[in-house]
Structure 1
């Protein structure tokens, strides 16, 4: 074998210039949009929605050599984060983007008319009062988990309980939560947030808070939503949120298929996601 002091990428890598990468992305987006999965339309309690959309993100560990492009939350590591919105009606992604591992999920979820008539299921990575307001203002619906330390003011009870139940109207959530024994919580609460990012001007909205008591842990699973109590009971809201497992299964399936292979090698000249902005 002849001596070789320098290594260079094969000619194949030279094909992936920015224009060609942009074309490949357009082709992929078009293929996803037009792929017919044969899945049926939403039915039952979901048929009122145009679609049920599930937002999530997952981390892919990379070789340390990629850390300059794909920074990670830990030192001496490289991570790619895949941000995904999956359609429950098709089982396919409707939007996706790649960033480095330090990018927060919330920053990659746009708001606008695309949420109209759709139900958006959000975990704590997307816990943002401004986001909830924008979904509601654009004609969409949402169900979100609630942080453990959330302390909303309760302005109305949506279900009455017989006996010596603790009155909730006018109380703060944390002041009464530990004393409650009821199976369900169903109330309206107020929350405040910045009306416009960076403006300093605040806005206040009223949304619905529901909770289901776990008899084993004696704690409540709490959810925020703008769905009405006339159409969806507290157990209904919890059941709707369980549809998030669809995207969890999608991610787990991907991990299973790649579990026998080493960590992905990233070539900044080849990988279209070398720009952390996606």
Structure 2
């Protein structure tokens, strides 16, 4: 398989990139130097590396040793943060670790976790989704600044992502072991899967009217069970949780795209007047003020609006 030279054209002189992308399905197979971290928010399918197939269900973190031939086949809406790290990043950050106290070198810390196939897929617990989104947003913003301090912050964010990745892999192994031991733990895992499925359905339908009846039917629970599950696990009512997720999605679109506010309101399933009112209540800013404020210090690269329009058109 030929090496993918487009990676170098995209990065130019940089040794790291972090981009937010949304596509309608995705299929590829390539190889290039360095390694990748994907945070998949939406999309289900298969990743391939070293002739090994690994199923993936969002939300998930994916780590790939990119010199190994790899690819994926994702169906439906594919929303993710894509980070590519080339050799040479970071330039020199050994001072962040104290070698005199037994710390490893920064080169070992900023490196992919190892696996026989060169590919690792870790399911992300729903309670960590917002936390990881914030980490990747910060990473992308710091890379737009591109000064000495921003490189250090970016390196720390990569280290933080790796720590979460290790935790998720450990939790998955522990859960699989526990499931094999007792039927009670099987039931617990099923309950966790139901909750994760419920949150995924909410995320996938934020541009539509979401009712307790619809959600209950989708996860095979009663309305009262849906209300109770959301309240118990998130500390919020169902309506309040959905409202906060709509605004969180709108903030990402305001920050990383040039879509008109009218279109963003539609993409999060709210009429324009109601969207502006709720946004101001929660953020203490209008959508326009939030967009201007988020770009006041530096101008991040806007996403391709054609991508969002295509997805919006497909959902009409």
TM-score by length of 2: 0.23
Structure having the larger proportion of residues in strand: 1
Choose between structure 1 and 2 for higher RCO, CA contacts under 8 A separated by at least 6 residues: 1
Structure having the larger proportion of residues in helix: 2
Q: Is the radius of gyration larger for structure 1 or structure 2? A: 1
TM-score by length of 1: 0.25
